[in-house]
Amino acid sequence: MVKKKEVILGVTASVAIYKACEITRRLRDQGFSVSVVMTKEARDFISPLLFASLSANKVYGDMGYDPQAWEIEHVSLADKADLVLVAPATANIIAKAACGICDDLLTCLISATKAPVLFCPAMNEGMFLNKITQANIKKLESLGYGFVQPRKGGLACGKVGVGCLAEVETIVKEAVKIL
């Protein structure tokens, strides 16, 4: 039996989080296994139960110690990943990754994996175009991390600008290209 390629989908707290559901479904339709890692803030937006149903896999969240498990979760997830896809990727997760901050399961996983990492930013235009965010993106790109750039469109703040999560089809196409 051929092992399915494993996509670890990192989900962060953005209004675009609902599109991560469609990304999960589309990747599964393409024959990939999808495991979802949600930040604490993402779990305030949407229930992990929805991602568990869509992915047919356990949804991971907090780092914690499970005396029944011998695996270190962030390392075992990092090892099984063929791709770590962070969609939506907030300015916060991009900054933490650029600085090597490992204070939750997703940032530890990003730091530990040898698999390609693909960030899909989604945020307010001011945040996206901020010099610090742009410097963090350039730094990560120089280190070999990939990005699917956001598009111009209606933002959660009611304005139109650059910062909308790329179209689901574009994200899935880029993920498949890497896999």
Interval 123-141: pLDDT, tens: 999 999 999 999 999 999 9
> What are residue 37's DSSP bridge partners?
10, 60
Positive/negative CA dihedral, 115, 178, 143, 125: negative
Pairing of strands 160-164, 151-154: antiparallel
Q: What predicted TM-score, i.e. pTM, was given to this entire model? A: 0.92
pLDDT at 90 over 90: yes
User: Which residues are the active-site residues?
Assistant: 157
pLDDT at 71 over 90: no
pLDDT at 74: 59
The domain ranges of the chain are 6-178
pLDDT at 70: 45
Give the confidence band of 11 by pLDDT, cuts at 50, 70, 90: very high
Place of tokens 């339709």: 29
Place of tokens 């907030």: 90
Kindly report the backbone phi and psi dihedral angles of residue 25, in degrees, each rounded to the nearest multiple of 5, phi listed first: -60, -45
Q: Where are the alpha helices (DSSP H) in 32-104?
A: 40-45, 48-55, 73-80, 91-99
Which residues have CB under 8 Å from 122's CB, separation 6+? Answer: 14, 15, 16, 87, 88, 89, 90, 150, 163, 164, 165
Among left, alpha and beta (phi > 0; psi -120 to 50; other), residue 100 is left
pLDDT at 176: 97
Query: Residue range 38-55: average pLDDT?
Result: 95
Residue 159 is given by DSSP the state -
pLDDT at 67: 47
pLDDT at 64: 54
Maximum C-alpha span of the chain: 50
Give the confidence band of 72 by pLDDT, cuts at 50, 70, 90: low
Exposure string for 76-112, b = 16+ CB within 10 A, e = fewer: ebbeebbbbbbbbbbbbbbbbbbeeebebbbbbbbeb
Architecture of domain 6-178: 3-Layer(aba) Sandwich (3.40)
